Structure 1
């Protein structure tokens, strides 16, 4: 049976990026930055502004991942977190987290204004609302945390939406924007400053030897540098055991046409599954952008079920007439919900990492870029301790780490024990799933035109069995979040090699 189809992503449809070549020769530079999203591009540009010779390498095309497929909120309101952060880390660190992200927002606001970047930037208040009695206390506590930390906001008994809501906490002075034209501006500035960009360049390893770092691509090319920064979703150098300290979640978004005056503001529900609501402008037309339905990669219902749930929500609450765009994104989360930004591990002086942004990468990426630039230049930064990857908190790290690794073990075992009876010839057009080929488990997808693609479903990271994602036509690893196309090509790490093609 065929699956429902949707248009392509809004973000990549509205602003194209220049194309850059692949690394085809060994070279040397001062700093190598790995990752073609907002964190990588911003870090590379800030270092180039400081006079550093910088190379930026990305496994795919610039912005061809989560940054290009994002709801693009510029906000320090990252769900119900401030009451939790006060409990785990204390008021000082919770306040630092807020201030760091507001500085990130201000950085973007100032650059957009000074450079005149046309990126749909708009000032908006951010709301977390609930219609569930079980979440009322949590929303009230979050507002009390705002007051303790000096965050401008209010507690409201209604919201400017037709969605039912009994209580909401509002953070004032937030914003939204379209990241691709903004990052195109930064990319062009980086190149003007002498920066070099290499796309389609998968980095296989990063090694430190004294004051020299060697970055090696999958095809054996090397970049020799003084410092290397991994801004990819999953860190390339895994000396800090990040595969055990991060878990990956999928989330979904649709852009719809809806009648009447569309609301101002950015909204997210406190209860699960989350519902995120805001307005975007595309081609002079205002659309509603709806997101949510988060789950661990490879560990939930087929992807199309989540798109259908968002479509039902759009029709019921807003009278949506049709879906204009849809996409999904993947994000890594640290055990204590704070990003890892800094030296990759205590023993490495010249290798840095930025990861674990937990769906809030717009402001956090700017925080990361500024912090990493300061660390590389030997300058003090008041956020260094807060985001240090070498930190460890007994509460909540121990419990979360144990839970996550039990989950990984369960997925590894269950994937190997699953018995599959279906054969490739049983698949209809535009259908994929596990099959049996010559007595062994495999994965197959039949295109709408009838072409069959068969792969070994053993993830190339640590051997878990990948699961078929009907919504995006991808193979997703339930253990550590690696993702592959239906052909078996790597989309997201930590895996670096493609799935084995069987036919």
Structure 2
């Protein structure tokens, strides 16, 4: 398989034909400024524009160029081990509200697609969480019972459409899958038709929580807004330290055409073997696009990502021998320490600033939930499940204290330990030993230095200190990016920000001084 960068590899981005919008270079005023043009940001902007509010959307890169553009496109209320955990840790009411909100989001996408006439390859399919090992059956039986109690049409089954036997599975009927960017294209067109303004290539670098709020950008433009929505995956401008309640992970994705008779006819996921997720999508020639996800890892830990892709490909070709792999990409997600997304008004003096984050890999329904919850709050209303997701919730936070402490220990370990490892025993490796396509972190004259050798032998050197909070980055050898293990910021080989919370690029360095 030829190496593909994540922006080149996403099937959704390749086939979406999204429009382009200019950067913001002037002063603007609006009712609501939405930072981030993924499904959470655009769903919120659309709900507000439909309610008659003036909306400005600011996107640092391209529309849906982050997490949303690299998803698997599942719309389901069945999430692995969610309901038994929710019932145990948060109670029956919380589990019921979660099921109701996620199901409402699925219905909302179906309704909006029909109302706007969006052709987004939406298909109704069952969703299944399965295990192949007998020791996993008891947990899945408990999950099926908890999901039923929460209001889902869930059952425990032992037969699936997968080309291999399973020990058991939780099955929920009438879920959905779609082309996420084709759907968002429809939202974007309607937002513009309703008078909304969208600006790409516009990174917000300053946020003044006044009345009105004021936003400064890296393109010279500014926005004055009564309300602000931070829908940037990781919460930038995070005065309340929500980031301490989030952990980051990336999943690898491969995809390729599969003969239609081999379609497993469903959306499948297991937490075994480093996670495996399977679904298909229709192709114009009548075949199906098989999409397989797995090999989850924490960004910035120096994982051999190419080896992960190889394992994922081997698994796919072993179970689906008729598939031809044509695409690969990777997606980044974050999870809160109490397992629930953080959606709503920023706590502790956030004022009219709202946030949507922590979707734990289920951002398609989670982003639509965020749109409805935040749009209601801006209008002075309240969704029945708003309290479940409120970022300032205290009870669940106290119950998740062990997970919170574990996450902060992991962050601290990287902040201190990576420096000792890299500079204490020289495990970063000398620059002269770098082969084309490789990267390493070394001690430079100006401090820690991240060096990459490109395919032509040229060296690219930048500071290895993440501009967010100062952790050391590590190299991702498949995507050829520098990644921070503490909060998931990502940079290209020349230091440009690919993914926040970092707002500033890594400082350029002279390769001769590294």
| 1:361-380 matched pairs, under 5 angstroms | 361-380=363-382
Residue matched to 1:81? 82
Asked if 1 retains the 8 angstrom alpha-carbon contact of 2:491 and 2:497, the reply is yes
**2:229 is aligned with 1:229:** yes
Measure the CA separation in 2 of the matches of 1:286 and 1:300.
34
**Secondary structure at the counterpart of residue 232 of structure 2:** coil
Shift of residue 296 of structure 1? 1.5
Measure the CA separation in 1 of the matches of 2:150 and 2:385.
16
| 1:297-446 matched pairs, under 5 angstroms | 297-299=299-301, 301-392=303-394, 393=396, 396-417=399-420, 418-419=422-423, 420=426, 422-438=429-445, 440-446=447-453
**Secondary structure at the counterpart of residue 298 of structure 1:** coil
Measure the CA separation in 2 of the matches of 1:408 and 1:146.
34
Per mean C-alpha deviation after superposition, the further-off stretch among 433-442 and 421-430 is 433-442
Aligned residues: 500
Measure the CA separation in 1 of the matches of 2:336 and 2:166.
30
Residue matched to 1:488? 495
Asked if 1 retains the 8 angstrom alpha-carbon contact of 2:304 and 2:477, the reply is yes
Q: Return the match for 1:478 from 466, 485, 488.
A: 485
Shift of residue 395 of structure 1? 5.5
Per mean C-alpha deviation after superposition, the further-off stretch among 31-40 and 439-448 is 439-448
Structural RMSD (CA): 1.7
Shift of residue 441 of structure 1? 3.4
Measure the CA separation in 1 of the matches of 2:270 and 2:278.
9
CA deviations 1:105-149 (Å, max 9, x no partner) are 001111222333221110000001101233211101101102322
Measure the CA separation in 2 of the matches of 1:101 and 1:369.
12
Asked if 2 retains the 8 angstrom alpha-carbon contact of 1:314 and 1:320, the reply is no
Shift of residue 219 of structure 1? 5.0
Measure the CA separation in 2 of the matches of 1:320 and 1:359.
28
Residue matched to 2:217? 217
CA deviations 1:406-433 (Å, max 9, x no partner) are 0011011121112336333322222222
Measure the CA separation in 1 of the matches of 2:169 and 2:175.
16
Q: Unaligned 5+ residue runs, structure 1?
A: none
Measure the CA separation in 2 of the matches of 1:436 and 1:463.
15
Asked if 2 retains the 8 angstrom alpha-carbon contact of 1:240 and 1:345, the reply is yes
Give TM-score scaled by structure 2 length. Answer: 0.94
**Secondary structure at the counterpart of residue 29 of structure 1:** strand
Asked if 1 retains the 8 angstrom alpha-carbon contact of 2:100 and 2:151, the reply is no
Give TM-score scaled by structure 1 length. Answer: 0.96
Residue matched to 2:123? 122
Residue matched to 1:37? 38
Residue matched to 1:202? 203
Measure the CA separation in 1 of the matches of 2:193 and 2:397.
46
Shift of residue 438 of structure 1? 4.3
Asked if 2 retains the 8 angstrom alpha-carbon contact of 1:473 and 1:486, the reply is yes
Asked if 2 retains the 8 angstrom alpha-carbon contact of 1:239 and 1:345, the reply is no
**Secondary structure at the counterpart of residue 85 of structure 1:** helix
Q: Return the match for 2:473 from 466, 475, 484.
A: 466
**Secondary structure at the counterpart of residue 233 of structure 2:** coil
Asked if 2 retains the 8 angstrom alpha-carbon contact of 1:34 and 1:230, the reply is yes
Measure the CA separation in 1 of the matches of 2:283 and 2:399.
42
Measure the CA separation in 1 of the matches of 2:442 and 2:382.
55
Measure the CA separation in 2 of the matches of 1:232 and 1:122.
28
Per mean C-alpha deviation after superposition, the further-off stretch among 347-356 and 459-468 is 347-356
Measure the CA separation in 2 of the matches of 1:144 and 1:321.
35
Per mean C-alpha deviation after superposition, the further-off stretch among 464-473 and 278-287 is 278-287
**2:157 is aligned with 1:150:** no
**Secondary structure at the counterpart of residue 135 of structure 1:** helix
Measure the CA separation in 1 of the matches of 2:412 and 2:273.
25
**2:496 is aligned with 1:498:** no
Asked if 1 retains the 8 angstrom alpha-carbon contact of 2:26 and 2:220, the reply is no
Shift of residue 379 of structure 1? 1.2
CA deviations 1:71-115 (Å, max 9, x no partner) are 000001111110100011111111111110111100111122233
Shift of residue 439 of structure 1? 8.2
Measure the CA separation in 1 of the matches of 2:124 and 2:262.
18
Q: Unaligned 5+ residue runs, structure 2?
A: none
**2:459 is aligned with 1:456:** no
Shift of residue 481 of structure 1? 0.7
| 1:279-298 matched pairs, under 5 angstroms | 279-284=280-285, 285-298=287-300
**Secondary structure at the counterpart of residue 465 of structure 2:** coil
Asked if 1 retains the 8 angstrom alpha-carbon contact of 2:32 and 2:228, the reply is yes
Residue matched to 1:18? 19
Asked if 2 retains the 8 angstrom alpha-carbon contact of 1:423 and 1:437, the reply is no
**Secondary structure at the counterpart of residue 128 of structure 1:** strand
